[in-house]
Amino acid sequence: MLILLPPSEGKASPRRGRPLDLPSLSFPDLAPHRAEVLDALVGLCTASPPQDAAQVLGLGKTQTEAVAANARLVRAPTARADQVYAGVLYEALDLASLEGSARRRASGWLAVTSGLFGLLRPTDRIPAYRLSGDVALPRIGTVSTYWSRRLDDAVRAAAGHGLVVDLRSTTYASFWRPSPEQARRVVTVRVLHEVRGARQVVSHFNKATKGRLVRSLLEDGDAPHTAARFADHLGALGWKVELGTGGRHGTRLDVVVSDL
């Protein structure tokens, strides 16, 4: 099984640790592309006035410290990605508290889409950075478009013959789209919050629920190979799910939560 996660905007900055080593990261074939994006990002944050770079990165005028941090990425300390990503989904997932086989499954099942690195494993050592997938970098263009042309081989290799469970947000879903043949083994999960009979997507609860769902899968350890069996498995784990019809990007599965 391969579980695709979005990154988090919020990140914990490592205080110590060796600097970034691109060749040591998972999916080594992506190294030259990572170097190209890194060079464009550092160049923007080094050569441009901080306020201008912040505007390109979609940051507020007062967030120039993030620009300065990006300029230092090559020599910045690193930590495991599952320690750097600090958003709501990752707090609910709480990988650090997993034990034994569940922790080992996280290393093999999880992959994070990243504007800077393309695709990462939780154990990859990275610095804290700011680069959203919808940013247009000099010489690179829109980051999501750049990676959409370069991630297919890495995702296919990571998935093997197993099911791909896609939990990415809209921006990061565009980093990789399955082929029609691959779509038969992709389940795209949507979380709906049910209040007084009405269903809606609520960002905070959506992220927290996805984190808890992934944790329950890692702790259970079963890896269904079809969308229907995956839906049945989630139901057996206590989740309320509704399986939709297959589409060009995979079968949609709604997880309905009424009490958060």
> What value does the mean pLDDT take over residues 230-242?
96
Cα atoms found within 13 Å of the Cα of residue 92, Cβ hemisphere only: 17
**Residue 201 confidence (pLDDT):** 75
* pLDDT per residue as tens digits for the range 37-56: 999 999 999 999 999 999 99
What is the per-residue pLDDT for 205?
Answer: 85
**Residues contacting residue 212 through CB under 8 Å, at least 6 positions apart:** 92, 93
Which pLDDT value is given to residue 260? 46
pLDDT above 60 for 152:
yes
Average pLDDT, the chain: 94
Q: Is the pLDDT of residue 259 over 70?
A: no
* 152-159 average pLDDT score: 97
**What 3-state class would DSSP assign to 18?**
coil
Q: Which element (helix H / strand E) includes 192?
A: strand 186-195
Task: Give every CB contact of residue 42 below 8 A, 6+ residues apart in sequence.
Answer: 70, 71, 73, 74
Check: CB of residue 128 under 8 Å from CB of residue 84: yes
Which pLDDT belongs to residue 258? 78
Does the pTM surpass 0.75? The reply is yes
